[in-house]
Chain A
Amino acid sequence: MNSSFYIALIPLLPLAGFILLGLFGRSFFKNSSGIIGTLFLLASAALAVYVAYDYFSGSATIRPREIAFTYTWLQFSDTLSIDMGVLLDPISVMMLVVVTFVSLMVHIYSLGYMKGEERYPTYYAFLSLFTFSMLGLVMSSNLFQIYIFWELVGVSSFLLIGFYYNKPSAVAAAKKAFIVTRFADLGFLIGILILSWYSGTLDFNTLIARMTSPESDQLKSAITSSFLGLSGLTWALLLIFMGGAGKSAMFPLHIWLPDAMEGPTPVSALIHAATMVVAGVYLVARLFPVFAISDPAALEVVAWVGAVSAVIAAVIACTQTDIKRVLAYSTMSQIGFMMFALGVSKYGGETGLGYTASMFHLFTHAMFKALLFLGAGAVIHYVHSNEMKDMGGLRKYLPITHITFLVACLAIAGIPPFAGFFSKEEILLAAHENSPAIYWIALFTSGLTAFYMFRLYFSIFWNKPAHLHGEKHGEGGFAMMLPLILLGIGAAGAGFTPFGKYVSTDGSPLESHIDIGFSALPVALGVVGIVAAMWLYLKPTNRPEKLAASLSSLYKSAYHKFYIDELYLFITKKVLFNLVGRPAAWFDRNVVDGLMNLTGNSTEAVSGAIKKLQSGKVQQYAIYFLGGVIVLAVLFIYVWK
């Protein structure tokens, strides 16, 4: 595969869709915009699959990291330029397929879900914009490009969360998501600047080459410099990770994700479950060689942030009653899994299992989490509520949703032979080999996962008999069912992909094998979780309340999400506002404004004074002209020689 422009079409097609629908959607394609957006994406997805086939079917044993296409966007000097490129390596190719596939499913699903919506064309325009940005992000060949698309992804997420802009809670959620991720992105930007300062390049290939070979001067200077006790490289990687943690909703920057569920449900499936939120994981994976070879300390931070997020989110998920929020916390928990899998991994050969496992889990998670969200969408569509107490006994009314939801729950709970089992096993194996503490945390979390997912499942489809008011309508049209079925097949079968053959730290194939002895414990824990959920939620009983009462302090703090939101509010409102904001406002009003007014007034005064020069009389102009000539001549002949 030489430099081939057609790969760049994969992101450009959705961009074309965005431009077309954004400019003309409301006037010309009022009703057909969904179909148009979907067709653009279909073409893009087909191309992505072709690229993946082409890339992986090669006979080479080492999968290369290659620049397929590059375009110099801004050339500042011979050495400094900003390029827009397409980087192909196993993870970017895999992400291309995942993003286009899930996005296509969501596009199709939305044909039914968003039908009759007043801003239907705008919705599809935003979806296309998001897909374009996300694809651009995963293909980025340099740090600057990834930063641009990173922000674009943030903007489109903002637009989609706030899609119902007349709903105050949606607007607030959009703002919150934007501000929190912006705050994290500040760290990201500083990290990029530090890293590129030391390495002298933005390009990933060169950067990784320079920052991983022990002899290189760039690496030496980055390691030997130190600031507040940490080396320059550690600072850079930690700040970059901060950006990734913000986007991926890692503790303690996760507070925006549950609120982001105010957006339309298909959007949650696409952005806040399958694609955008894994951008942080992808970012760490992209720079993984630098992390793993040159700075294991930073990688350890990644591991612990991931593990803590995974367990905290799982505990919170057990107590939430809004089904989308449960799914949001479960997403956060699963991303925690991917993060710590990267964190415990090493570079090269068998020791790089965690890296492969993380990417594998990203792949399978995209399938079953998108499926869970789309299924939840179908449920919400049917009962017009997000609350579990309004649901129950829906299995007869929503048969397809029921089956596919069950498949997804089994997958996420790690029950063989569904997809989640294989990827989670690999993660646990990697953790077991490298960090026992994290292994036990992960095991506990994976039991909790099974419990809260089946709590959700039983509360929706079993529990009390359905009490529906208003006229009954069907499950949703073909457009809504098709993605559920396709994703269901994915969630059931994706685990059989020989993933290690394609994705590994150093590009050489990795054999993965399932060890029955090792798998027994996690699977058993999963089953225990399911049984516990069944005991509590299969029939309407007062057992859950009793259990909650006996664990009341834990339950309460988990229900309130461990008061992290309140902590943020306290810090921002009470501390920052009073100690920094107020004095700054005073300074701004009295000193800065005063100076500005002074400048403004004096400018006006000067401007008024020199206006007289402009008298309209040509003879005066000539005098000034002559004056100018004489002053210049005198100045440069006598004074300024």
Chain B
Amino acid sequence: MLNDFLILMKPELTVTVILFLLLFIKIGKGMKNETLLPLIQVLLLLNFLLGFFFNKQGVLFEGLYTSTSMIVFQKNILNLGVYLISLLCADWLRKTPHLPEFFMLMLSALLGMFFMISSGNLLMFYLSLELATIPVAAMANFDLEKKISSEAAMKMILSSAFSSGILLFGISLLYGATGTISFAELPAQLDGSPLQIMAFVFLFTAFAFKLSIVPFHLWTADVYEGSPIAVTSFLSVISKGSIAFIFISTLYKVFQPMEAIWYNMIVVLAIATMVIGNLFALRQQNIKRFLAFSSIAQVGFILVAISSNSPAGLSAVVYFVLIYVFSNLAAFGVASVISEKTGRENIDEYKGLYKTNPFLTWVLALALFSLAGVPPTAGFFGKLFLLTAGATKADYWFVTVAALNMIISLYYYLRITRAMFMDKNDQPIEKLRPDPSARLALLICTAGIILTGLLSWVYDYIVKLN
């Protein structure tokens, strides 16, 4: 029993151990950032690698906690993302006066996400969702001297409190209507009565809020712009990935009987999200805001695959999130290096970047190509599988709308690429030397962007996990 417990909950336990280690370092004599940061990076790497060994499937605490090989793989993706962020934002992290706290918060949020993905019960889900949110709001405030950072934190905590209220309302209604909150028992009780639909809509909006699906997305841009880049990338990649995982498994497993309803809901919201996300992204001048809106549009594409209600949809989403981790983190990584060294975040200032910083330009260009879905980058394969999964429902006009939106998004991604390679600039960004660990992370991301697509066994592996 104890053995099962230790192995099944290994991801959570490892993260907890690292968390406590940091706590002891903090309340003890403390450590200089120069020594602490590499230590944390190594620990996170170990945490990531450990995720591949001693895995088991099973259920704990009478269904409160479940683990399958797919869930373990999803947790590994999140671990990878956290490790890459710790490398990419090294410059910024080193200057932070409260480094241990930052990682304690980040790991708490990660812990929350792990429990959330593994949750087998609405109560467990709610608790872990809060654990995954509140620390991030604190992290958003980490640029302590900047007002905009506090504003971001404030907006985030207020908005999520609002969303949580509606979520709790939905859970209560659902319990009232069905008499259970266990994921395993819920499907049998769902009959599509108006009360249940209402409860489901409330529950659904909580997911939609976290995934920044239109019209629940309004907090996103402000929070992304105000937060430090490390937090923005955490929010847009790790947070979104984890919510997408639990969202898809809730829809497929728990709300399967209500498929007719949520399918329509997803179609409506996916189109709204892709269109609005694209329209906003077109106009953005700030690189962080730009990435925020483009990530909203990306979620729209994820919804296309989710709508398929098939194993192919799940594998396509997991595969896409993996690619998205590489591509988006590479983009944020370059933005972080530039913003940290020069303070520039405006897209116009990226003009002529190629002249002075060819390496950064190539990485950013590859990342943008991958986000736009240009072959042969991995992003192309990711989008391809998303759309083919969506097409299994034979709603071809829906897939066509998605494809058209891909073309629009191509325009604004390429706009930046053109600015970097072709446009002239009187005051170009000077030659920058990114931190070695940041460079390592950018190389990992680049390799990921190229190889994840070309090596087909990655996708096959994900399909087999299903």
Identify the A interface with B (CB < 8 A): 71-76, 603-604, 606-608, 610-611, 613-614, 616, 618, 620-622, 624-625, 627-629, 632-633, 635-637, 640
Contact = CB atoms under 8 A, between A and B. Distances in A.
B296 to A, nearest CB: 12
8 contacts: A607-B280, A614-B221, A618-B154, A627-B215, A632-B205, A632-B265, A636-B261, A637-B198
Given A618-B155, A637-B198, A603 B218 contact: no
Q: Report, nearest first, the 6 A-B pairs whose CB atoms are least far apart.
A: A621-B218, A628-B215, A607-B279, A633-B201, A637-B194, A632-B201
Contacts of B159: 618, 621-622, 625
Contacts of B209: 625
Contacts of B154: 618
A603 to B, nearest CB: 6
A600 B412 CA distance: 13
Contact of B264 (A72, A76, A640): A640
Interface residues of B, number: 38
A340 B99 CA distance: 77
B218 A624 contact: yes
Contacts of B219: 618, 621
Contacts of B215: 624-625, 627-628
Nearest to B200: A636
B459 to A, nearest CB: 7
A27 to B, nearest CB: 13
Interface in B354-398: 381, 388
Contacts of A611: 280, 283
A384 to B, nearest CB: 38
Interface of B: 154-155, 158-159, 162-163, 166, 194, 197-198, 201-202, 204-205, 208-209, 215-216, 218-219, 221-222, 261, 264-265, 268, 276, 279-280, 282-283, 381, 388, 454, 456, 459-460, 463
Contacts of A608: 283
A625 B163 contact: yes
A618 B159 CA distance: 7
Q: In this complex, which of A72, A610, A627, A640 has the most chain B Cβ atoms within 10 angstroms of its Cβ?
A: A640
Contacts of A627: 215
Given A603-B279, A629-B202, A637-B198, A72 B265 contact: no
Given A75-B459, A633-B197, A637-B197, A606 B279 contact: yes
Contact of A629 (B201, B276, B381, B388): B201
Contacts of A73: 454, 456
B422 to A, nearest CB: 19
Nearest to A632: B201
Nearest to A74: B456
Nearest to B209: A625
A335 to B, nearest CB: 32
Contacts of B163: 625
Q: In this complex, which of A73, A75, A637 has the most chain B Cβ atoms within 10 angstroms of its Cβ?
A: A637
Nearest to A609: B279
A100 B218 CA distance: 61
B168 to A, nearest CB: 13
B197 A613 contact: no
Nearest to B204: A632
A627 to B, nearest CB: 7
B84 to A, nearest CB: 24
Contacts of B283: 604, 607-608, 611
A326 B276 CA distance: 63
A75 B261 contact: no
Q: In this complex, which of A72, A613, A625 has the most chain B Cβ atoms within 10 angstroms of its Cβ?
A: A625
A603 B282 CA distance: 9
B197 A625 contact: no
B276 A610 contact: yes
A86 B283 CA distance: 49
A593 to B, nearest CB: 15
Contacts of A618: 154-155, 158-159, 219
Nearest to A76: B388
Contacts of B201: 629, 632-633, 636-637
Contacts of B166: 625, 629
Given A611-B283, A628-B215, 17 more contacts: A73-B454, A75-B460, A76-B388, A610-B276, A616-B222, A621-B219, A622-B159, A625-B159, A625-B215, A632-B204, A632-B205, A633-B201, A635-B268, A637-B194, A637-B198, A637-B201, A640-B264
B279 A636 contact: no
B279 A613 contact: no
A341 B323 CA distance: 51
Given A618-B155, A618-B158, A628 B205 contact: yes
Q: In this complex, which of A603, A614, A618, A620 has the most chain B Cβ atoms within 10 angstroms of its Cβ?
A: A618
Contacts of B218: 613-614, 620-621, 624-625
Given A603-B282, A611-B283, A624-B215, A636 B205 contact: no
Contact of B197 (A75, A614, A628, A636): A636
A525 B39 CA distance: 85
B216 A75 contact: no
Contacts of B221: 614
B456 A636 contact: no
Nearest to B161: A622
Contacts of B194: 637
Q: In this complex, which of B221, B381, B456, B459 has the most chain A Cβ atoms within 10 angstroms of its Cβ?
A: B456
A75 B456 contact: yes
Q: In this complex, which of B202, B205, B459 has the most chain A Cβ atoms within 10 angstroms of its Cβ?
A: B205
A75 to B, nearest CB: 6
A627 B141 CA distance: 29
Q: In this complex, which of A74, A607, A632 has the most chain B Cβ atoms within 10 angstroms of its Cβ?
A: A632
